[in-house]
Structure 1
Amino acid sequence: MTFQTMKEAVTYIYSSLLKAKPFQAEENDTVTRAPHLTKELLSCLDLIPSGDKVILVTGSKGKGSTSRMMAAILRKMGLKVGLFTSPHLIDYNERIRVNGKAISDEAFLSYLNEHAPIMDKITASITNPQHYLGPTGILLSVALAHFQTEETDINVIEIGRGGAYDDTNVLENKWAVLSKVMEEHLGFLGHSLEDIVRHKVGIVKECTDHAVIGKQSEEALELMKEMIGKSAAFYGEDYMPANVVASLSGSTFTLQTKFGRYDDLSLPLLGSFQVENAALAIQACETVMGEALPRDILKEALRELRWPGRLEVVAENPTVVLDGSINRISAAYLKEVLPLVDSRKIATIIAVPSNKDYEGVIKVCCEFSNILVVTRPDNSHKMFPEDALAVARKFHDAAIEVDLLSEAVALVRTLEPTLIFVVGTQSMIGSAKEIWKDSLMDIG
């Protein structure tokens, strides 16, 4: 068939995975994932770039923000930058960008239609019913075709899940960047922090000349040093931010790196974790360039940054903050906003999927919320917990449940809070962006 709409295209992208799902008795990436199929696809299409054009970025928290920051800085350095991230907030196209601009529907459909015959041939050849041609691999073929057409100088590729068995890891990468790693995707990636770290460190391969490691727990850091060796650049040892000052407009900080010192950097993103991500991104960009970055160019790149859905202020009177927290560790950063705004009456709207730490997010948010509402995004394919209200009422007697986010927002507005948090999965944040009417097709 020929795909005429993005809806048809997205359905096709997930078709191989959905066909394999009934045969997947266990959620284990080492058993169910088949990245060799993605490599076959990219090889047939002659889309595999040289390793000196590829930066792979993985982690449990902050990999998307770090990827975006790196792309913005490298672009300001004069490079044409391809950016591949997931998930999207509103439009599927957001996952593929060149110099901040998302791929058009027309280009996306053209590439997919061109690639589909080879994809169909590969999926028809699958003999293990648990295996599938991954959605990430299919999307990567579209991204790489777009980057090839646009003649990008370098491509920042965010790993989908894990590292070693992810479809993006079939690429040779001169650089590997690892943000904070925590216990997540248990089952898919193993059953311990060591298992998770081993998957993530899988992006550091023989072809990888440089690894840059973000802030880690003591246990994760020691595991990484054992697995990678000490040749990587480590947060806290080789580079470190200091003098961090937060306000509602963002943060200012100083950064010492392997190549130099940067004073009075300004980042228009809330949360101390974003300073950690920025430090990682700057050190990684220095490593790519092989030298210190021009301070005026770096300051300009950071000052213009947009990364939606991470402690993002989208409205005032009352202040409305969107945040994609899906675990209790991330949700704890919401507290950093409270001293910066009028927080006399806080309403928090939460939608975290069943397979994420919804109880942890609810528990943290109950600590500071006068009004707490559990709900679901207006549009999402994910499963949400049936017991969300029961869990919420363990921590907040007056918690309520509303069917959809749009209805929850309407209700909360009538209660006249001074601060509204919208917290949860990316489809939830996407629904919120539509309510507050914000396009994300070009983020500069």
Structure 2
Amino acid sequence: MTYAETLNYLFSQLPMYQRIGAAAYKADLSTTIHLLHALGNPEKSSVRYIHIAGTNGKGSVSHMIASVLQEAGYKTGLFTSPHLRDFRERIRINGAPISEETVVNFVTENSAHFEAIQPSFFEMTAALAFQVFKDESVDFAVLETGMGGRLDSTNVITPLVSVITNIGMDHSQFLGNTIQSIAAEKAGIIKPEVPIVAGNMRPVALEVIRSKSKEQNSPLTLAPMFLPENIQTDLKGGWQQENLRTAFAALTLLSETFTNITQDALIKGLGHVVTNTGIRGRWEWLSRTPRVVCDVAHNEDGLGLVTAEISKEKYRKLLIVLGVVNDKDLAKSLPLFPKEATYFFCAAQIPRAKKAEELALEAAVFGLHGEVYPSVQSALQAAKALAHPTEDLIFVGGSFFTVAEVIPASQS
């Protein structure tokens, strides 16, 4: 198979949550465990794991930690999701996506297992990540959960440290309808006697984390309120300071055992996350003339932070290209958006996307008005045609998949 044929097989034959939603979700780890056993349990290698969960910020924190480990001289694997431009973004070694050949060979060699075991897309991808990290003999692997924690396919390892960035309302149909129930699912990554780092979160969520850490005899570290002045990150957006504090706390714990994680490695790694790891779509400027910025935030808490960031910008007119997925609670997130903006409603090219016409109708209830467009690209082009080259601001967002259709391919 070619790489394109392999991707077509993965996307069409395996249930993929990002594309179809609930039908791809499995409420236990049995398939993951079965698949990994068939592969010879690559997750049980000598790789040292850092495991990261959370409603928002877990991707940024994962990239921050990986960047510092790379600067410290460690061969570092990184597993995140979803991807923006290319499937291979999900699995990186020292910031570089795995090769097309690696993906093709893994699928070709193990297709019989896939037919027999019937994994989901994410279960297969997690298995590929574990296999790659073993084969590449990485020193560390940073694993971001796909959803929740307790039943996530990454939750089959014992890490050196577990990290929970924050807890908010998202994926309620799977994780529960309260902050406490969602926190309990995220807390499922806490392992006996393994240190746990908690980011800034609601007190009711933190209480769940505290209780689970006591039950597991796992030392709990809270992200600090303040950082040394020389600890900065190149990731843009005011909310990244919270992610920075969480990553710093986890790295400080690791540095007690791994002395290569020096102050210099911390400063360089946290200051060069984008160049070291290739992270995209976090308050990323796509253009300065006209001014176009995008962000992958997609739930109430994340969009609240993004709309607050928008309000800090100076502009004459605000134009928002907005596309969302079907299973989000728009009654909570749409009121966060500014009424004075002009909206360009669209839908990403995935089955799970909410139709632009439906989004426009729901948005109108909250005083958000604009036109409907047949694609994300056409919506962006229409916004650019209306925008002043320097005085107006265009924001593109609402979901990972909306951003994926406008973000340029990586130059690396």
TM-score, normalised to structure 1, is: 0.82
Structure 1 residue 69: deviation in Å?
0.7
- Report the Cα offset of residue 430 of structure 1: 0.9
> Take 1:374 and 1:275, find their aligned partners in 2: how far apart are those partners?
31
5 Å-filtered alignment, 1:234-253, equals 234-235=221-222, 239-242=223-226
Q: Is residue 241–residue 275 contact of structure 1 (8 Å, CA) maintained in 2?
A: no
In structure 2, the CA distance between the partners of 1:11 and 1:410, relative to structure 1 (3 Å rule), is same
SS, match of residue 231 in structure 2: strand
Alignment-derived partner of residue 391 in structure 1 = 362
Q: 2:3 is matched by which residue type in structure 1?
A: T
The number of equivalent residue pairs is: 397
* Within-5 A mapping of 1:104-119: 104-119=99-114
Judge conservation of contact 1:54–1:156 (CA < 8 Å) in 2. yes
Residues 1:98 and 2:122 aligned together: no
- Residue 78 of structure 1 is matched in structure 2 by 73
Is residue 439 from structure 1 mapped to residue 410 from structure 2 by the alignment?
yes
In structure 2, the residue matched to 1:247 is none
Contact 2:91 2:129 (8 Å CA) reproduced: yes
**Could you tell me how far 1:335 is from its partner in structure 2?**
3.9
**Aligned-partner Cα distance in 1 for 2:23–2:121:** 16
Q: Does 1:425 align with 2:410?
A: no
- Deviation of 1:224 after TM superposition, in Å, equals 1.3
2:207 is matched with which residue?
A: 222
Whether 1:232 aligns to 2:219 is yes
Amino acid at match of 1:94: E
| 1:240-259 Cα shifts (integer Å, max 9, x gaps) | 243xxxxxxxxxxxx1xxxx
Match of 2:197 among 212, 217, 231: 212
Aligned match of 2:303: 331
The secondary structure found in structure 2 opposite 1:202 is: helix
When residues 376 and 17 of structure 1 are mapped into structure 2, their CA distance, relative to the original with a 3 A threshold, is closer
Residue identity in the other structure for 1:408: A
Gaps (5+ residues) in structure 1?
A: 124-132, 243-254, 256-261
CA separation of 1:343 and 1:34: change in aligned 2, threshold 3 A? same
CA–CA distance in structure 2, aligned partners of residues 271 and 98 of structure 1: 26
The match for 1:43 is: 37
Q: Structure 1 residues 351 and 211 mapped into 2: Cα distance closer, same or farther (>3 Å)?
A: same
Q: Contact conserved, 2:6 with 2:107, CA < 8 A, in 1?
A: no
User: Are residue 283 (structure 1) and residue 246 (structure 2) matched?
Assistant: no
Q: 1:9-62: CA deviations, max 9, x gaps?
A: 4533663537xxx9x9x9896xx4341221222123221234761111111111
C-alpha RMSD of the superposition: 2.6
Q: Identity of counterpart residues, as a percentage?
A: 26
SS of 1:366's equivalent in the other structure is: coil
Q: Does the CA-based 8 Å contact 1:178-1:200 persist in structure 2?
A: yes
On the 8 A contact 1:351/1:376 being kept in 2, the answer is yes
CA contact (8 A) 2:47 2:137 kept: no
- The residue type paired with residue 421 of structure 1 is F
1:179-328 to 2 correspondences below 5 Å = 179-206=165-192, 209-229=194-214, 231-235=218-222, 239-242=223-226, 255=227, 262-290=228-256, 293-306=261-274, 307-328=279-300
Cα offset for 1:191?
Answer: 2.9
In the alignment, the residues of structure 1 paired with residue 126 and residue 187 of structure 2 have an alpha-carbon distance, to the nearest angstrom, of 21
Say yes or no: does 1:408 pair with 2:370. no
For 1:127, the equivalent position in structure 2 comes to: none
